[in-house]
Amino acid sequence: MVLGDLGSKLVDALGKLQSSMLLDDGIINQVIKDICLALIQADVNIQQVNELRQSIKRSLDANAIAAGHNKRVLVRQAVVEALSKMFDPGHPPFQPKRGRTNIIMFVGLQGSGKTTTVAKYANFYKKKGFKCAVVCADTFRAGAFSQLQQNAAKVRVPFYGEQENKDPVAIALAGVRMFTEEGFDLIIVDTSGRHMQDTELFEEMKQVADAIHPNDIVFVMDSSIGQAAHDQALAFRQKVNITSVVVTKLDGHAKGGGALVAATQSPIVFLGVGEGFDQMELFNTHSFISRLLGMGDVQGLVAKMEEMDLEKKHPELIQNLTEGRFTYKDLRSVLETFMQAGSLTQMMDMMPGPVGKFFHDMQGGDAANADREGFLRLKGFMTIMDSMTEEELNSVKPLTATRVSRLARGSGQHSRMVQALIEAHKLFSRFGSQLKGLGINPAGDINPRNLNPQTMRKMMSMMPQQALKQMGGMGGMQNMLKQMASMGRGMGGMGGMGGLGGLGGMFGGGG
Ligand SMILES: Nc1nc2c(ncn2[C@@H]2O[C@H](COP(=O)(O)OP(=O)(O)OP(=O)(O)O)[C@@H](O)[C@H]2O)c(=O)[nH]1
């Protein structure tokens, strides 16, 4: 996952809260220390780490007086809140709107991934129904014109550039005018990559901005530079009004944490997680923290599925999920969606608790080949389901032993693969029926009205007993969920400490 190293260290630190019998100040201080160390190792600026430490302590002191609160829950909440604050710029990013002209100008250092991100950005909004076009105002790098032209062709959006012209202001203006007249919603202007010392190129960037009046200036930043990102963002900000940030190359950079935190004076809108045009994730502080802390991100998953038009393509799946019945046909629709989503790793990261773990195990331990491995195994599953009868496909029950051997023979797959398929089906069914049983809506909100004793008992029966005890039984859990729900509203209705993702983590015993 993105920042997997930082994530696993944070999960380990928080795990100490659950594994210690007696939660005294010594353990709490150790947890806070481990969290701070993990952030420093991810190259987060030491001063910001100190602020986080103070913020957690302040929050714990303030809550200590409130009787009846569960200490473990309070510490965990204080950490989630402080981390969210750290990654959050405090104001929402610019949102392009369809039906009007949105001019987006991309700026950044040389090689930060601007041109690639322009194509990813166009691809993302094109899928959302925007009429997109790109303009190449990079007259500095020789290959920039043809790179963007080819990228635009690959994502099938119109391109404007003038190969012989060396005046970026004139090109940007001409491109923007042409596409505005033609009624495009989203006109994305790529500019030259520059170094901080390049005063001339910085002046030129300002001239382009003054000429085209962009609605949003997106600063593209390579995550590998860690906290040095702060000075770079500042240098660009002094010349133009940066309103959004895209952090690139987060696939496999330990310093990414530092870059993310350093960038947050302007809202981060996307994360670049690979070279492919669909390897860009919408950034949402809350989802990001949920995933970082191993709580899954069901909201992100729902958004991804929406993006893939799952409701239109597989209406029966949505219907079945809301009714709490999950057939093998439904499993096939889900897996098909995963396979079309491009990056399996990205999808797996969003799966909560045991479902996420199951798919991670399927990908094997080799991160470099994870996508390919996972893809091959999913293909194996699809082959098995191709050999199923209509009755089997519509079944909600595990398959019998005779059917397992018949399917293994018929599909040419090992019977262990058929068993694994049955496990996957069971996990998804359980997850679906848990959601149905709890009356939680698919947007990930926890409805406080559902927190009646009957629902609570249902939730308790699904949770590992040890985790439940540590939460302080039913009273502690009820308190925690209410606080999660109210925190969620505070964070824009995101469902508190992870919404469904948080719950998924709890059911997996990881919460
Ligand atoms: N792994 C990974 N590579 C990326 C990502 N984004 C861009 N790249 C790669 O980074 C390299 C530079 O990307 P470009 O898009 O050419 O960078 P640029 O900022 O336009 O470069 P200049 O025009 O010279 O400033 C290319 O090899 C891209 O494929 C990402 O999110 N992950």
The domain that holds 39 is classified in CATH as 1.20.120.140
Contact 425, 326 (CB under 8 A): yes
**In-domain check, residue 131:** yes
Is pLDDT of 140 > 80?
Answer: yes
Ligand 1 pocket member 253 (CB < 6 A): no
Q: DSSP code of 281?
A: E
Q: Which atom of ligand 1 is nearest to the CA of 112?
A: 19
What's the pLDDT tens digit per position in 151-199? 999 999 999 999 989 999 999 999 999 999 999 999 999 999 877 777 8
The CATH code of the domain that includes 446 is 1.10.260.30
Q: What's the gap in Å between 115 CA and the centre of ligand 1?
A: 7
Residues 341 and 315 in one domain: yes
Ligand 1 pocket member 111 (CB < 6 A): yes
Is pLDDT of 497 > 50?
Answer: no
Decide which of 60, 87, 114 is a domain's last residue: 87
Ligand 1 pocket member 110 (CB < 6 A): yes
Residues 216 and 345 in one domain: no
Is pLDDT of 354 > 90?
Answer: no
Residues 401 and 484 in one domain: yes
Q: What is the mean pLDDT of residues 74-93?
A: 83
Decide which of 56, 87, 118 is a domain's last residue: 87
Question: Which amino acid is residue 132, in one-letter code?
Answer: C
Q: Quickly list DSSP for 139-168.
A: -SSTTHHHHHHHHHHHTT--EE--TT---H
What pairs with residue 136 in β-bridges? 190
Residues 51 and 144 in one domain: no
Parallel, antiparallel or unpaired: strands 268-272 and 280-282 = antiparallel
Sign of CA dihedral 227, 277, 491, 32: negative
Residues 48 and 123 in one domain: no
Residues 366 and 309 in one domain: yes
Number of domains in the chain: 3
Residues 65 and 133 in one domain: no
Ligand 1 pocket member 354 (CB < 6 A): no
**In-domain check, residue 292:** no
| Domain hosting residue 473, numbered range | 298-507
Residues 246 and 324 in one domain: no
Residues 44 and 142 in one domain: no
Is pLDDT of 496 > 80?
Answer: no
ipTM of the complex: 0.97
**Whole-Å CA distances, 480 to 28, 61, 329, 440:** 18, 17, 37, 16
Distance CA 245, CA 256 (A): 14
Ligand 1 pocket member 139 (CB < 6 A): no
Q: Which residue spans within 292-334 are E strands per DSSP?
A: none
Q: Which of 154, 192, 275, 282 to mutate to test the pocket of ligand 1 (most atoms within 8 A of CB)?
A: 275
Distance CA 490, CA 492 (A): 6
pLDDT class for 247, splitting at 50, 70, 90? very high
Ligand 1 pocket member 116 (CB < 6 A): yes
Nearest CA residue ID for atom 7, ligand 1: 113
Which of 176, 96, 192, 183 shows the shortest CA–CA distance to 144? 192
Burial string for 321-339 (b: 16+ CB within 10 Å, else e) reads beeeebbbbbbbbbbbbbb
Distance CA 94, CA 76 (A): 31
**In-domain check, residue 54:** yes
**In-domain check, residue 449:** yes
At 503 the pLDDT is 37
Q: DSSP code of 214?
A: -
The residue to which tokens 């939660």 are assigned: 23
At 325 the pLDDT is 77
What's the pLDDT tens digit per position in 404-435? 999 999 999 888 888 888 888 887 777 666 55
**In-domain check, residue 148:** yes
Q: Which of 116, 225, 248, 346 to mutate to test the pocket of ligand 1 (most atoms within 8 A of CB)?
A: 116
**In-domain check, residue 291:** no
Residues 308 and 269 in one domain: no
Low-confidence winner among 25-29, 368-372, 435-439 (lowest mean pLDDT): 435-439
Listed ranges 86-90, 127-131, 475-479; the one with the highest mean pLDDT: 127-131
Distance CA 32, CA 328 (A): 44
Residues 499 and 365 in one domain: yes
Ligand 1 pocket member 275 (CB < 6 A): yes
Ligand 1 pocket member 459 (CB < 6 A): no
Residues 262 and 376 in one domain: no
Q: Which atom of ligand 1 is nearest to the CA of 271?
A: 31
**In-domain check, residue 316:** yes
Decide which of 252, 283, 314 is a domain's last residue: 283
**In-domain check, residue 133:** yes
